[in-house]
Chains A and B, each alone.
Chain A
Amino acid sequence: LAKTTQPISMDSYEGQEVNITCSHNNIATNDYITWYQQFPSQGPRFIIQGYKTKVTNEVASLFIPADRKSSTLSLPRVSLSDTAVYYCLVGDGNYGQNFVFGPGTRLSVLP
């Protein structure tokens, strides 16, 4: 399983862009990179997924360099409601058993 490393916590202010980087040095050829968001008392929610280069949706962007050994989740102009834990997962998605949720990054958005 590809192990991931991300910062334990980050602080930001409303309106700023937040970038959370995840390291996955032993990512395999078939592995995708997936990010989830979890609010207190709720289950994780899928944010974005990518394999290489850049992926953008209405919520976030995901930047993946050519060597794929890291990835960066970018949240544009965060608000207080973006305060949550963000998980980076790496795996080939084989029925989910290869996905490992680490402790994630606890993002606190301040007014």
Chain B
Amino acid sequence: NAGVTQTPKFQVLKTGQSMTLQCAQDMNHNSMYWYRQDPGMGLRLIYYSASEGTTDKGEVPNGYNVSRLNKREFSLRLESAAPSQTSVYFCASSAAGLPNQPQHFGDGTRLSIL
């Protein structure tokens, strides 16, 4: 009963390095999302994919790229990491076609950029 699986769970990068965060879901959901959560704050949407083959920007897309590899997988890439991108990153998925389908979240990737 995996749900949403994120890898890696922890990562430390140096400024300027690149990194891809992986996310996979096994619930046959059409929509997937990437959020970041900074200390003491709520989650902010980075990018989302309404369905396989489509991606759109969220609230804070700068410095990130995404790829919807297939229906199960949605990756987030940092091309040139910056200290301001130190955060906890959450991936989520939801069913589509009906309004207000709850989002199911992974347990996050804790990313530190030095």
Q: A44-B103, A46-B103, A96-B48 are in contact. List 13 more A-B contacts (CB 8 A).
A: A32-B99, A42-B105, A42-B108, A43-B108, A45-B105, A92-B99, A95-B56, A96-B31, A99-B103, A100-B59, A101-B44, A103-B40, A104-B42
> Chain B: how many interface residues by the 8 Å CB criterion?
29
- Which of A41, A42, A49, A95 is the most central at the interface, judged by chain B CB atoms within 10 Å of its CB? A95
Query: What 0/1 readout, one digit per residue, does chain B (81-114) give for beta carbons within 8 Å of chain A?
Result: 0000000001010101001111111111000000
Alpha-carbon distance between A11 and B87 when the two chains are bound, in angstroms? 27
Chain A residues in the interface with B (C-beta under 8 A): 30, 32, 34, 41-46, 49, 87, 91-97, 99-104
Q: Judging by beta carbons under 8 Å apart, are A30 and B108 in contact?
A: no
Q: Judging by beta carbons under 8 Å apart, are B50 and A95 in contact?
A: yes
A-B contact pairs, 16 of them (CB 8 A): A41-B107, A41-B108, A43-B105, A43-B107, A49-B102, A92-B100, A93-B100, A95-B50, A95-B96, A96-B48, A96-B103, A97-B48, A100-B42, A101-B35, A103-B42, A104-B42
Q: Judging by beta carbons under 8 Å apart, are A44 and B99 in contact?
A: no
Chain A positions within 8 Å of B41 at CB level: 103
B21 adjacent to chain A (CB < 8 Å): no
- Of residues 1 through 35 on chain B, the ones whose CB sits less than 8 Å from some CB of chain A are 4, 31, 33, 35
Chain B positions within 8 Å of A45 at CB level: 105
- Which of A43, A49, A91, A92 is the most central at the interface, judged by chain B CB atoms within 10 Å of its CB? A43
Chain A positions within 8 Å of B99 at CB level: 30, 32, 92-94
- Which of B33, B42, B48, B99 is the most central at the interface, judged by chain A CB atoms within 10 Å of its CB? B42
Alpha-carbon distance between A32 and B35 when the two chains are bound, in angstroms? 21
B69 adjacent to chain A (CB < 8 Å): no
Q: Which residue on chain A has the smallest CB distance to residue B105?
A: A43
Q: Judging by beta carbons under 8 Å apart, are A97 and B58 in contact?
A: yes
Contact of B42 among A46, A95, A96, A101 (CB under 8 A): A101
Q: Taking the nearest CB of chain B, how far is it from the CB of A27, in angstroms? A: 13
What are the 7 closest A-B residue pairs judged by CB atoms, nearest first? Answer: A43-B105, A93-B100, A101-B42, A46-B102, A101-B43, A95-B50, A32-B100
